[in-house]
Amino acid sequence: MNELQKLLGKPDQSLIEHTDKVLKIWQEIFLIHKEEITDNDFWKKSLVSVIFHDIGKIIDSFQEMMISIKENKYYNFDKNFRHELFSGIIVSLFLQNEILPVAAVFSHHKKLNDELFDGDRFRKLSFKIQYLNDFYKYYDNRLSDFKLNFDISIFGNFTKLTAEKSYILYKERIFWKRRDIIKKSDRIKYIFFKGILQTCDWFASANKLLLDDLKIKEQNIKSTLENKIAISITFSDFQLKCLNTKKDCLVIAPTGSGKTEASLLWAGGKKGKLLYLLPTRVTSNAIYERMKDYFGQENLGLVHSGAYSFHKEINDNYEYSEYLLEKTFHKPLTVATVDQVLTCGFNIGYWEMKEFNCFNSRIIIDEIHSYDFYTLGLIIATIRHFKEMKAKFFIMSATIPEFLKKLILNELPEIQLIENKSLLEESRNLFEVHNCNIDELDEQIRYEVEQKRKVLIVVNTVNEAIRLYEKYHHYRPICYHSRFIQKHRVQKEKQIKEVSENNSDRNLVITTQVVEVSLDIDFDILFTENAPADAIVQRAGRVNRKREKKKNTKIVIYRHSDIAKKIYGEDILNNSFFEFQKYNNKRISEQQFIDIVNEVYKDVEVENNKDYNEGLKKYNEIQEHYNFIQDVPINDKNLYTRNFKDNVNISIIPMEFLEELADKKPLIMNKFVVDVPIWAKNNYRKDKMNRFLFLDVDYNDKRGVKLKKPEKNYSKYVM
């Protein structure tokens, strides 16, 4: 035993110490889930995989590596034989004919794909068989409850085990030759084996305790709101309905009616982690800041492609290991963009950990109307999968077409429909509809700007936003769209909020449809290019958000361009324009908005929509191709992205920042990244580490990237 205690599991921790901590976490998970997972055989296999997941660390090369790291000496990592390969073979001896828990051990550090362990085949493997025997004897009592009765004399056969034999065992006997027998139903079992194992390993390594579920109390939400607005409040009838139901919910309520608080009231008292999903990074950041007031930052996670940089800007001491827990949904409440959940079905990223934490969870999907048909198909496929994981859903929208409402009600037949009709007769703004282009409204635009009204112009393409910015440059407008580097987008968002709050000497903002579901802003006048009716409603929601009846606020809709037809479809645009023309020079109530949206989409049959069905079926196609549990290689994106030949974006850094970013860390360089269509790729360079692509594009911080040739396919990168 003394010899065994000397073996290192980490540079600062013995193998026994680490395994003991892992087992402590496992016991906590067992107590949390034993009433929901009653299969004793599952827990037996899970315990075996957890105890022996690091047994491979007894090998000589791993111990040499740990000692070198501990003593700060050079070590040739190419010599190290992967301990997971050795561990997986040991676990396979305990669990004869089992694939899922063994696969979890093999892949608890590396992705489960065709290349796993290829580099270990010709490395040296040596170890002391006595360590193997001693380790088993030390933990034998932990396994006695499950009556494994394992004959350790078989370890004697391991004295001649080589790297080559280990590789062959893995490839031909244990996993790869048998993977075709894995069924779709096995995927959830694998998620639990892998999720439990990695949770135990990560929390033990970080010396952290498991986090409790979020305790949401009605009084906490009420008191926080009262402190913010300095008046006493009473929850509305529709909010109280959300509080009192135990079912899934579909909530339809106008902007500003308290949907967010209603969703939190619904989530209160239910077990499991809470996920709050939104369409964009900007809306996610905003909701994250709101949730801090309610629950404290220690209970929150923020997950999207720019979240780590967001955290580092606030706290320079923020560790990536902390973000790793956040991005795998370990925090009691995670605010995220919806793609962070959708990509689970593609078996990319830490999908097993995310899905494990979605078991028995509460999932809020905001702005459900804002997704295209393909993404909607993915969302429905995700809902189906997570319902099998006992998740509950709260889906909400201010303007939901009738076809979408019916789709959700059919998909979740037990769901409770809750509508807030208290504000349906209210109207906020006067509408004007002009059968002309925006240049014919030039005199009116200039008049409103010069009267110091807060003027917002929303168009359908980046190129048009840039053109109008250059046309009205003498008013010092703020131009905002997706083709700014991240650093400048953050600045733009701050500037727009300053205009909205009357804290700026500028009053003209020109933007694309990114404003529809991103910024919480309030303007006096909106000039908007015609778009689908629900998009117009979202844009109109950026004017007179506080519903001040005496304000002289206005929405001006003008004709869409030919390019817009390629984005949204000609019929939808024509129908939308026709319906809004009926309300020219009138105020439109919230109920009339609903009527307009329903009329525009009355002929939509989503179940027959090609894009919707493509998204709905995509998970099955990928998972069948990868035997349901394998990780999809990152370079195999063609398998999970849509096949738009001319419609692929690439992330680049404008060439003008090449010298400024020389030798900078990736975290700094990420702030200078912008997406452009791949056809714009011309003169380019790579940074020294071959991580970032520097592209020769026409860029400045006032109007972003100006492309030198017209787009060919507009449906993705127009914003």
Same domain, 143 and 25: yes
Same domain, 172 and 232: no
- pLDDT 10s digits, 694-712: 999 999 999 999 987 554 4
**pLDDT for the residue numbered 514:** 87
The answer to the question of residue 572 being in a domain is yes
Same domain, 351 and 245: yes
- Whether residue 527 is predicted with pLDDT greater than 80 in this model: the reply is yes
Percent of the chain exceeding pLDDT 70 equals 92
The answer to the question of residue 116 being in a domain is yes
**pLDDT for the residue numbered 149:** 67
How many structural domains is the chain composed of? 4
**pLDDT for the residue numbered 645:** 37
Segment 186-210 mean pLDDT: 93
**pLDDT for the residue numbered 225:** 61
- Whether residue 227 is predicted with pLDDT greater than 70 in this model: the reply is no
Same domain, 461 and 358: no
DSSP state of 560: P
Question: What does pLDDT average to over the chain?
Answer: 88
Q: In angstroms, rounded to a whole number, what is the distance separating the alpha carbons of residues 489 and 468?
A: 18
**pLDDT band at residue 684 using 50, 70 and 90 as cut-offs:** confident
Same domain, 644 and 500: no
> Which of 159, 181, 205 corresponds to the end of one domain?
205
More confident residue, 159 or 470: 470
DSSP string, 230-282: SS-----HHHHHHHH--S-EEEE--TTS-HHHHHHHHHTT--S-EEEEESSHH
Q: In angstroms, rounded to a whole number, what is the distance separating the alpha carbons of residues 693 and 714?
A: 23
DSSP string, 619-638: HHHHHHHTTTTSPPPTT-GG
**pLDDT for the residue numbered 230:** 53
Segment 388-394 mean pLDDT: 95
User: What are the angstrom distances between the C-alpha of 51 and each of 45, 356, 580?
Assistant: 10, 19, 66
**pLDDT band at residue 52 using 50, 70 and 90 as cut-offs:** very high
More confident residue, 136 or 53: 53
**pLDDT for the residue numbered 219:** 67
**pLDDT for the residue numbered 318:** 85
Same domain, 381 and 434: no
- pLDDT 10s digits, 600-651: 999 999 999 999 999 999 999 999 999 999 998 866 654 555 543 344 678 8
> Which of 419, 445, 478 corresponds to the end of one domain?
419
DSSP state of 574: H
The answer to the question of residue 211 being in a domain is no
To the nearest 10°, the Cα dihedral for 179, 180, 184, 185? -70
Nearest-CA neighbor of 533 among 578, 586, 565?
578
Look at 198-207, 493-502, 519-528, 635-644 and tell me which has the smallest mean pLDDT: 635-644
- pLDDT 10s digits, 318-354: 888 889 999 999 999 999 999 999 999 999 989 999 9
- pLDDT 10s digits, 548-602: 766 889 999 999 999 999 888 899 999 999 999 999 999 999 889 999 999 999 9
- Whether residue 244 is predicted with pLDDT greater than 60 in this model: the reply is yes
Same domain, 76 and 190: yes
Q: In angstroms, rounded to a whole number, what is the distance separating the alpha carbons of residues 692 and 709?
A: 24
- Whether residue 98 is predicted with pLDDT greater than 70 in this model: the reply is yes
The answer to the question of residue 522 being in a domain is yes
The answer to the question of residue 175 being in a domain is yes
**pLDDT for the residue numbered 547:** 72
- Whether residue 158 is predicted with pLDDT greater than 90 in this model: the reply is no
Domain hosting residue 121, numbered range: 2-205
The answer to the question of residue 711 being in a domain is no
- Whether residue 207 is predicted with pLDDT greater than 70 in this model: the reply is yes
- pLDDT 10s digits, 27-40: 999 998 988 899 99
- pLDDT 10s digits, 394-404: 999 988 899 99
Same domain, 398 and 377: yes
Segment 107-122 mean pLDDT: 93
Q: Is residue 156 packed enough to be buried (19+ CB in 10 Å), middle (13-18) or exposed (0-12)?
A: exposed
Same domain, 598 and 629: no
> Which of 205, 233, 252 corresponds to the end of one domain?
205
The answer to the question of residue 719 being in a domain is no
Same domain, 562 and 628: no
Nearest-CA neighbor of 192 among 75, 353, 341?
353
Same domain, 632 and 500: no
User: What are the angstrom distances between the C-alpha of 307 and each of 167, 363, 652?
Assistant: 39, 19, 19
**pLDDT for the residue numbered 577:** 98
**pLDDT band at residue 662 using 50, 70 and 90 as cut-offs:** confident
The answer to the question of residue 662 being in a domain is yes
Contacts by 103-107 with C-beta closer than 8 Å and gap 24+?
103/175, 103/190, 103/193, 103/194, 103/629, 104/49, 104/190, 104/193, 104/194, 104/197, 105/49, 105/52, 105/53, 105/197, 106/170, 106/175, 107/194, 107/631
Same domain, 564 and 643: no
**pLDDT for the residue numbered 635:** 62
**pLDDT for the residue numbered 718:** 45
Percent of the chain exceeding pLDDT 90 equals 62
In the beta sheet, which residues pair with residue 586? Answer: 431
